[in-house]
Structure 1
């Protein structure tokens, strides 16, 4: 009987391995990527709004050259319809001043004064209506004064 009782009892089974754990790190990485994408979108929206506001604002720029020289070449930035271009002017006497009202102004303009072979002394100045002012001086033959970054 003992043999028959042993046959009726279920055979012992091997212990089952625990169910596999779900990995958490892919979800954390996905969450970080989503947050970075949202932050990049927000920064892009703010920057585009700022650029649009700056582009529609009217700005007054004044260029000036003083000194003693007879052969002077001016090269300066101009903005027309949101496009940057360069103007060039040759002077035979100083002082000189020029003014420009523009829209679509972007920082980084340039105003360069070059003396010719006869030399001399010059000073350049650029004033933007918000008070930004750049100045530079040069003297001697073929010297250059650069007022840029306004």
Structure 2
């Protein structure tokens, strides 16, 4: 029969030295970071989804002395920005739309004809400060964009 020697501590009634496995913290930290990122992304999606259902009023206005101008402006249909065109036409010109699919990136561009003149465009989204631009000359373009 063999006996194991556990050292002097065991001889005095103390149990043999037991090594405890050290728990790694980095997997828990990584898990917490991933969960925070997922929660942040979910919050952004909820906020954006809430904005897409909101009705937005977009008012376009073109003034000036130019005759036979061409007008291109954005509308929002089925989640896409679509460009509508009108012209040649005389000024002033106004258009107002309401949409629930509004996304930034709209455009209003007005081009004078060969006879020239001056044109000014203005776009107002809801009651915010309007985007404006002016152009003068033959075949000059005033562009209001980024609204």
SS at match of 1:141: coil
Unaligned runs of 5+ in 1: 1-19
Corresponding residue pairs, total: 130
Pairing 1:62–2:42 present: no
**SS, match of residue 65 in structure 2:** strand
Residue in structure 1 matched with residue 42 of structure 2 by the alignment: 45
Maintained 8 Å contact 1:58/1:103: yes
RMSD of the alignment, in Å? 2.1
Using the TM superposition, name which of 36-45 and 133-142 deviates more: 36-45
**Match for 2:105 among 100, 104, 108?**
108
1:22-37 mapped onto 2 (5 Å cutoff): 27-37=24-34
Equivalence map 1:1-150=2 (5 Å):
27-150=24-147
Higher Rg? 1
Corresponding residue SS for 1:131: coil
Offset of residue 119 of structure 1: 1.3
1:28-48 Cα distance to aligned partner (Å, 9 max, x none) = 443342222112211111111
> 2:105 aligns to what SS in structure 1?
coil
**Residue 101 of structure 1, CA deviation:** 0.8
Say whether the 8 Å CA contact 2:70–2:89 is kept in structure 1: no
Q: Secondary structure at the match of 2:81?
A: strand
Residue by residue over 1:63-116, the C-alpha shift from the partner in whole angstroms, topping out at 9 and shown as x without a partner, is 000001112111111012322211111133110001111111112211111122
**Residues 35, 71 of structure 1: alpha-carbon distance in 2 compared, 3 angstrom cutoff:** same
Q: Distance in 2 between matches of 1:35 and 1:99?
A: 48
Relative to its length, the structure with more helix (as a share) is 1
